[in-house]
Structure 1
Amino acid sequence: MKHIIWDWNGTLFHDIDAVVMATNEVFRPYGVAAFDADGFRAAYTRPIWVAYERILGRALEEGEWERLDQAFHDHYHRLMISCALAEDALHCLATWADRGRTQSLLSMWAHDRLVVKAAELGIAGYFSRIDGLSSGAPGGGKAEHMVAHIESLAMDPAEVLVIGDSLDDAHAAEHVGAKAVLYTGGMTSRVDLAASGLPVVDTLAEAFDHAR
């Protein structure tokens, strides 16, 4: 592999606790019992509004998705302050850079916030490109964003490894013809990740081994 495309939330950025706590705050007024991490992973899917329908046991009403999504992000942006990079993240980024290889960051989190947070954590300089969500509805799929990201990099997808924590990352990699490895530290259960047929790992160091 010549290039790694990293996912952010639940991959490089270990924010599962903030995601679960924010979700619990969102659904508390609905009388939904609080999730732990495993319970949340069992309900999680993308697009995220489908996960919310699972949680509520019904279809969302007109305008309800937008209200729930805004409430989630209000809570998440408060809670994420205590979150940090995943174990091995900095080592993997530095080692790949030291080998003269390139890497980039593609996330479905808000672009402006992503750029600022990567700079705050001192890792922005490792990436040849950082792309977050700057247009379109939040909570959707990553595939078309992956197409634009690859085109911007001018990379051959066959020489790219995508490292992410969700089936959405897997689908996006498949969509462009890149390889992928899936990490269990994020929002998707190991069972669901394994069902993809792709390599599944418990640490970023293990994921990184697939790029060597």
Structure 2
Amino acid sequence: MGTRGTGHERGTGERGAEAPPHIVWDWNGTLFHDIDAVITATNAAFAEIGLAPITLARYRELYCVPIPRFYERLMGRLPTQDEWDHMDVVFHRHYADHRIRCGLTAGAESLLARWQDTGGTQSIMSMYGHEDLLPLVRGFGIERRFIRVDGRTGPSGGSKTEHMARHLAGLSGVAAGRTVVIGDAVDDAVAAAHVGAHAVLYTGGSHSRGSLAEAGVPVVDSLEEAVAEAERLVV
């Protein structure tokens, strides 16, 4: 659990047809309801370079990856490397302080159990740092629900696309065509398309419904609806 990609080939053809339905869950803003901590940490980072605080609605309207582009939308220019490095450190320090008051999204535990109990498999691919992600998942007592848990390795702020490719390659017996990525960001849909998987986007995290709708995949307001869409797509 939580190991890096091992290079197993994804199922295709007959093997793909026989593969179980699989969900790749995003963590932050999807299974883990941490948007309040994210806004607090973001505003702390903004204050370091003289930007005004941002509301949740404004954040969801403007948020995008790579994250320096998000700052560009607010500042009218890309941050310098020194500004980005400093804001990134400040953000993660404040986020770590506030995440301890966050919990799983409503209904997440029962949905994870039901998907597993009915024969589906599931995993986590998060852009949260790998070494920080694993203790969080274990702390909620849900690690046994997943066949793999992967967090980001390398610098923060980039796209999930290549991380998703490595993640799916490391899932033995899982076929991309029988896989649904559930996340709260347009980048989740982009990463899903990159590997040939389906996507369902959830409005409880970083993006507004309008911005999520631009991805051209189902958009839902609860994880229960997200799993129902996953069942429709691959079960």
Q: Normalising to structure 1: TM-score of the pair?
A: 0.96
For 2:205 and 2:146, the matched residues in 1 are separated by: 21
Counterparts in 2 of 1:36-115, with a 5 A limit?
A: 36-115=55-134
Amino acid at match of 1:211: A
* Runs of 4+ with deviation above 2 angstroms: 29-33
Q: CA shift at 1:27, angstroms?
A: 1.0
Matched, 1:137 2:155: yes
Q: Tell me which residue corresponds to 2:3.
A: none
SS state of the match for residue 162, structure 1? strand
For 1:133 and 1:73, the matched residues in 2 are separated by: 14
Q: Normalising to structure 2: TM-score of the pair?
A: 0.87
Q: CA shift at 1:30, angstroms?
A: 3.2
Q: Tell me which residue corresponds to 2:135.
A: 116
Between 23-32 and 113-122, report the one with greater CA deviation. Answer: 23-32
Determine what percentage of the aligned residue pairs are the same residue. Answer: 48
Q: Tell me which residue corresponds to 1:208.
A: 227
For 1:29 and 1:133, the matched residues in 2 are separated by: 25
How many residues get paired?
211
For 1:122 and 1:89, the matched residues in 2 are separated by: 12
What per-residue deviation string (whole Å, max 9, x for no partner) do you get for residues 164-203 of structure 1?
0001100000000000000000001110101111100000
Q: Tell me which residue corresponds to 1:13.
A: 32
Q: CA shift at 1:29, angstroms?
A: 3.5
Unpaired segments of 5 or more residues in structure 1?
none
Q: Tell me which residue corresponds to 2:12.
A: none
Q: Tell me which residue corresponds to 2:194.
A: 175
Unpaired segments of 5 or more residues in structure 2?
1-19
Q: CA shift at 1:128, angstroms?
A: 0.3
For 2:148 and 2:139, the matched residues in 1 are separated by: 16
